[in-house]
Amino acid sequence: MQIKQFEAKDMTEGLRMVKKEFGNDAVILSAKTLQKTGRFLGTVKQAGVIITAATDPIQTGLNKKLKSYANTGHVTSALSDKTDAQGLSSKTDAFLDALGSDRHQEPCRPPHSSGVHAIPGVEIRKTLNLIKGRLLSQGVENPIAKEVIGEIEQRLPTAGSPSSLALKRTFSEFIRQRHLIADPIHRAGKTPLTIALVGPTGVGKTTTTVKLAVQYKLEMNYRVGIITLDHYRIAATAALMTYSNITDIPCEIVSNAGELRQALKSMKKMDLIMIDTPGVGLNDKPELNRVAGLLDKVSPDQVYLVLASMTKNADMLAYHHYFESTGFDRLIFSKLDETSVYGNIFNLLIKMNTPVAYLTGGQTIPENIRPVTIDTLLDLILPESVLVDNTVQGRVLSRTRHIKTPAEKTVPEYEFVANRNSDIFHHNECKSVSRIHRDNIIHFSNITEAMEQNFKPCRMCCMENIDPKLVMKPLKRAAQGRY
């Protein structure tokens, strides 16, 4: 595209100059009246016009060649001779040769088409950066967030802004291919399906056992029996027997392998047998070996590790490794009602590649348990309100302010923030934070995390909380030329 300004004394002369320079294919972009001033006291000396015009040299040359070739009559004769296929082919080749190299050039984009599509992938990267911020705010670890966003970016189209539907489909496909979700309990044969639940103390294994038993009895019309190995806690055993009497679900308490085999034999006509085990702490290896030994002797069909959803990332990994001797092959996350940050769940699923089958929270039986689907898992870390397609602005993230409930206010927030367009990080109560646009905010859980990403502390709010060693480390790297 060639653009040029033409100055003339009137519009007629200006248009004549444009036509002479650019030809009939010129496009007038603007025209304005001009008054020239004299050198003496700014007096008006002469009026005129300035015309801004443009032309596309490639398209102009192409049009000229088409016109000259059409005037020779070759195109008409070639098209009229329908029976001579070879002649038509040769004349078509001649026609294309006449166009020359211009036919291989991409036509220039019209002036009005400039915008987000001028640089392919910019809107996608902008969108994915915002989604990555949401993942980080939910507690998803930075390496995992990068891995997820990288895979999602490869699956999206390379230009334009993806719609909310396209984003959801892409994330869903990622979850499906990673096999992060286990099928719910289903009895396929005629023999009873035996399910065992293991996990740490206090995560709600007994309550979860009752929820599943009652749900399958009432909703699936299964014949269900419960066996508990937890004969230590009198209160838990009493509560289990109470539920058994109310729901008419048989329940037996056992303490060794012989009693466990006998209980299973007495329930051989059941469709589903739930085995509840005692909670085991990280330092109680003998009890873990006892539980694992009992389960090994009866070989349950499925073993679930139950973890509380507010458990820290490091503890979740520790429990996952600790209970491997029980042979668990799927997960249940409990107490979802006691937290609003679920990134630790996603971290564990990605790192260990063990699928999750159920989510549970609350004490209502059996309503407060549900099988996991792609939508429920996606909604934990990327709610539907986040994947909103704003067709006017081309944005796909909703950043509306969320008013916290009293329960949510008790959850600790990220303590430090930074502007992605700056190199300074602040405490979240610093007055400078209010001037950062919400789309540019980056969250850090601690000072070390911020400084490891080469952000510098705000002198107004952060310096008094910083270990001098953390400040010296980046200075040493800078002195060594590693920045």
So what's the pLDDT on residue 464? 55
Record: fold of 413-479 = DNA Methylphosphotriester Repair Domain (3.40.10)
So what's the pLDDT on residue 316? 93
- Which one, of 177, 182, 180, 207, lies nearest residue 304 by Cα? 182
Under 8 Å between Cβ of 368 and 362: yes
pTM of the model: 0.56
So what's the pLDDT on residue 100? 46
What's the token pair of residue 221? 């019309």
So what's the pLDDT on residue 236? 63
Using CA atoms, how far apart are residues 147 and 482, in angstroms rounded to an integer?
25
Q: In what order do the strands lie in the sheet with 369-371?
A: 251-253, 224-228, 272-276, 193-198, 302-308, 330-334, 356-360, 369-371
Q: What are phi and psi of 389, to 5 degrees?
A: -90, 110
What is the full per-residue pLDDT of the chain (483 aa) written as tens digits? 677 888 888 888 888 888 888 887 777 767 777 665 554 444 445 668 888 887 766 555 555 554 554 455 444 444 444 444 444 445 445 544 544 444 444 444 434 333 333 334 556 777 788 888 888 888 899 999 888 888 888 877 665 556 677 778 888 888 888 899 999 998 888 889 999 999 999 898 988 999 999 999 888 889 999 999 876 666 667 777 877 788 889 999 888 889 999 999 999 899 999 999 999 989 899 999 999 999 999 999 999 999 999 999 999 999 999 999 999 999 999 999 888 889 999 999 999 989 999 999 887 887 789 999 988 888 888 765 555 433 223 333 333 333 344 444 443 445 788 888 888 888 877 877 877 877 778 888 778 788 878 888 887 776 555 554 554 454 445 445 544
Q: Cβ–Cβ contacts within 10 Å for residue 357, how many?
A: 18
So what's the pLDDT on residue 138? 86
CATH superfamily, with its number, for domain 193-372: P-loop containing nucleotide triphosphate hydrolases (3.40.50.300)
Using CA atoms, how far apart are residues 442 and 434, in angstroms rounded to an integer?
13
Q: State the helix-helix crossing angle for 343-352 and 142-155, rounded to 10 degrees.
A: 70
Beta-strand relationship, 44-55 and 27-37: antiparallel
So what's the pLDDT on residue 3? 77
Residues 37, 38, 39, CA angle at the centre, nearest 5°? 125
Under 8 Å between Cβ of 218 and 229: no
Under 8 Å between Cβ of 276 and 206: yes
